[in-house]
Amino acid sequence: MASDTRLSARLSLQRTHRESRFVLDVTLDFGPGLSVLFGPSGSGKSTILAALAGLLRPDSGRVALGHDVLFDSARGVNRAPDGRQIALVFQSLALFPHLDGLANVGYGLPRVLNKSQRLERAAAWLARLRVEHLARRYPRSYSGGEAQRVALARALASQPRALLLDEPFSALDQQLASELSAELVSYVTPLAIPVVLVTHDRKLARQVGREVTLLRAGRVERVGEAHDVLPKRA
């Protein structure tokens, strides 16, 4: 694959909370397609996503999307989150409760689009994720699976150059999580962008991950194909 489609990073930071100290020191490289960032709670997965998206500034390092440098501590580069074209779906989904489905999906679309264009694109993505019936309904009325699809539609409608997913299926039962993760692969594969899925669910990681990066205590322990990095447990 061409290098301009890869999301790469060197990230170093230290954080102290009460009497504990967390140190993150990783080098990462994600190509087009869905990759999994796997590890136990506290290993640094969500911290990495926040740094890639620009929501957290590392102490030192570099983040690049192809040849486009988004963060470089040595050069004083730190692109704002809204200038990185990296979409992040939070574990909480962060849907706006006062906006209906169309407005939620259309919220982050470029302002160069007029209102009718934003609504048209939002409706198209709701339909693509099979939740067009939620266009005029509000998040409080959504099921867990419906909310996931609206959140994904909002992220993908912005035409991101990379997509980050922080435990997006953790609130769902295992069968629904499996179904949605399979759908996710079908949605993002044609886009040919880096997609990073954070999870501590071994079965889910094996199901969807083209490549798995195994984290432990702020370090990369292993990178490789899912069945090698995460063999089935006896």
Q: What is the pLDDT of residue 61?
A: 97
Pick the CATH number of 1-85+160-234 from 3.40.50.720, 3.50.50.60, 3.90.1170.20, 3.40.50.300: 3.40.50.300
Report yes or no: 48 and 11 within 8 Å, Cβ to Cβ: yes
pLDDT tens, 142-198? 998 899 899 999 999 999 999 999 988 877 778 888 888 888 888 888 889 999 999
Q: How much is the pLDDT for 60?
A: 97
Tokens representing residue 189 in the block? 């594969």
Query: Is the model's pLDDT at 230 over the cut of 50?
Result: yes
- How many CA atoms, within 13 angstroms, populate the side-chain half-sphere of residue 153? 31
Which residues neighbour 137 within 8 Å (Cβ) at sequence distance 6 or greater? 100, 101
User: In Å, how far from its chain's centre is CA 25?
Assistant: 20
Helix or strand or coil: residue 152? helix
Q: State the average pLDDT for the chain.
A: 90
Q: What is the pTM of this model?
A: 0.90
To the nearest whole percent, how much of the chain has pLDDT over 90? 62
Within the chain, all domains assigned CATH 3.40.50.300 are found at 1-85+160-234
Q: Determine the average pLDDT of the residues in 108-125.
A: 89
Q: Reply yes or no on whether the pLDDT at 234 is more than 70.
A: no
Q: Strands (DSSP E) along 52-201, which ranges?
A: 60-65, 68-72, 77-78, 86-89, 162-166, 194-199
Task: Give the whole-angstrom CA distance, residue 58 versus residue 9.
Answer: 11
Residue 209 scores a pLDDT above 60: yes
Q: Using CA atoms, how far apart are residues 35 and 224, in angstroms rounded to an integer?
A: 10
Please name the amino acid found at residue 66. G
Round to whole Å and give the CA distance between 225 and 213.
9
* Residue 27: pLDDT band with limits 50, 70, 90: very high
The string of pLDDT tens digits covering residues 81-108 is 999 999 999 877 789 999 999 999 998 7
Q: Write down the pLDDT at residue 124.
A: 95
Q: CA nearest 36: which of 232, 167, 170, 190?
A: 167
So what's the pLDDT on residue 3? 44
pLDDT of residue 4: 65
The more confidently predicted of residues 210 and 125 is: 125
- pLDDT greater than 90 at residue 140: yes
- Asked if the model's pLDDT at residue 1 lies above 60, the reply is no
Which one-letter amino acid corresponds to residue 179? E
Strand order in the sheet with 7-17: 20-30, 7-17, 60-65, 68-72, 77-78
